[in-house]
Amino acid sequence: MTDSAKINPPPKHIAIIMDGNNRWAKSRGLPSLAGHKAGVDSVREVITGCVEQGVEALTLFAFSSENWKRPAVEVKGLMELFMFALDREVKKLHKNNIRLRVIGDKARFSASLQKKIAAAEALTESCTGLQLNIAANYGGRWDIVNAAKVIAERCVSGELTPDQIDEELFGSYVHLAELPAPDLCIRTAGEQRISNFLIWQFAYTEFYYANCFWPDFGKARLIEAIDDFTGRERRFGRTSEQLEADKGA
């Protein structure tokens, strides 16, 4: 896309629903875990691409609260892969000034995995480059309900009154509140739904659907998605004419 065709700057925050690992593996006659392992390589490529494109935050949907319903052997393999990836990648993230955070209900993970997550987050806490968020045992509804519980507790204790609750206050209690809201959400494998991911945060997010499985999504496809995003007009409830008037002001 030429510069003249670009309406938006590149997204500050990209969220990705990494879909299609199982189908990628099945199409090759491989076990499902092979697809998840291949997907780790795509994660690495996309992180590199985001750094090169000046993206400030990247949030990856790695494991939803509904994924516990998958076959036990697959869940066990995913947990082991998560442990392996933390061991292998966290020092590289730190070296490249990338901060890692895991969002979601971590209490259900094994004690050893929780320990590794905490150590990885602590190691990269002072990193000021790309903010990498891994959503694991995360659900958008859980996030909203959790925020509501905390606010309710503050009301009961007298710290807040119901009249003080508005969108801004509520939004400060959901995950990623300290980051820009996601500008762009990418979903692979041709699926077109959000699957209980960042429901509150996606109010004005642009969506891009890639017709390839996640292991086939790399840096080049990321750039295609960003290029598509920069050509869209984002009105946030206003008209095109109002946006043009703002530019001329």
Q: Enumerate the active-site residues.
A: 19, 67
Q: CA-CA distance, 11 to 233, in Å (whole number)? A: 13
Residue 152's alpha-carbon distances to 104, 127, 146, 168, in angstroms, are: 20, 34, 10, 16
Q: CA-CA distance, 118 to 148, in Å (whole number)? A: 25
Q: CA-CA distance, 217 to 44, in Å (whole number)? A: 11
Decide if 56 contacts 13 (C-beta within 8 A).
yes
Q: CA-CA distance, 196 to 229, in Å (whole number)? A: 22
Tokens for 180, please give them. Answer: 């820009």
Single out the residue of 109, 101, 106 nearest to residue 78, CA to CA.
109
